[in-house]
Amino acid sequence: MALREIVLVPEPVLRRKANKVTTFDKSFQQLVDDMIETMRAAPGVGLAAPQVGISQRLLVMEFGDEEDEEAPKKLYVFVNPEIVKSSEEKVTGVEACLSVPGMAGEVERYQTLVVKGLNRFGKPVRHKLEGWTARIFQHENDHLDGVLFTDRATKVWQPSEEEIENIRD
């Protein structure tokens, strides 16, 4: 495994709709492993392939239980993800992004989602995501369509050091 460089705005790959993944070969598996390692080292809770300069519909995310910080984190790998269903309820939360350093914003997202896609080996997966896990998915999935959190934010600012520590994404 290797750390990948996280690209920053205004890198053009961050604004393009990513290509569908069709091959699950050794090279693709290496990309998945590298993205997981890069996300953890950043540190972040999610990473989309365009953020490492790769225009493919791949995202990784890892988040624990909001109520129990001691609980083990759950790792997700989504290839060619799609939102199947979203709740009517939306919630506003603070987001940041590894590709937009030094900025935070208030973004409204769906509270609950049902998502489908493929796992890293090309097998179908379907998950119900809620709360912060749903927020992380929506944030990373937006990257696959060239959308940044700043495009959706109702308010954007430069957070203080203390605020940065409290932002979960």
Q: Tens digit of pLDDT for each residue in 111-148?
A: 999 999 999 999 999 999 999 999 999 999 999 999 99
**Pairwise CA distance, residues 20 & 57, whole Å:** 5
Residue 5 lies in a domain: no
Per-residue confidence at 68, pLDDT binned at 50, 70, 90?
Answer: low
Kindly tell me if the per-residue pLDDT of 29 is higher than 50.
yes
Residue 14 is predicted with a pLDDT of 98
Mean pLDDT, rounded, for 1-29: 97
Set 37, 89, 106, 140: catalytic member:
140
**Pairwise CA distance, residues 20 & 121, whole Å:** 14
Per-residue confidence at 161, pLDDT binned at 50, 70, 90?
Answer: confident
Question: Mean pLDDT over all residues of the chain?
Answer: 94
Q: How many domains is the chain built from?
A: 1
Residue 139 lies in a domain: yes
Q: Does 140 participate in catalysis according to the annotation? A: yes
In 3D, which of 3, 164, 9, 4 has the Cα closest to residue 99?
Answer: 9
Residue 66 is predicted with a pLDDT of 61
Kindly tell me if the per-residue pLDDT of 51 is higher than 70.
yes
3-class secondary-structure state, position 72 = coil
Mean pLDDT, rounded, for 157-162: 87
Per-residue confidence at 169, pLDDT binned at 50, 70, 90?
Answer: very low
Residue 7 lies in a domain: no
Residue 129 lies in a domain: yes
How many Cβ atoms from other residues are within 10 Å of residue 52's Cβ? Answer: 22
Residue 6 lies in a domain: no
Residue 77 is predicted with a pLDDT of 98
Two tokens at 55?
A: 């225009």
**Pairwise CA distance, residues 148 & 97, whole Å:** 8
Mean pLDDT, rounded, for 46-74: 89
Residue 61 lies in a domain: yes
**Pairwise CA distance, residues 12 & 81, whole Å:** 22
Residue 96 lies in a domain: yes
Task: Provide the CATH number for the domain around residue 146.
Answer: 3.90.45.10
Instruction: State the residue range of the domain holding 123.
Output: 12-166
Residue 112 lies in a domain: yes
Per-residue confidence at 1, pLDDT binned at 50, 70, 90?
Answer: confident
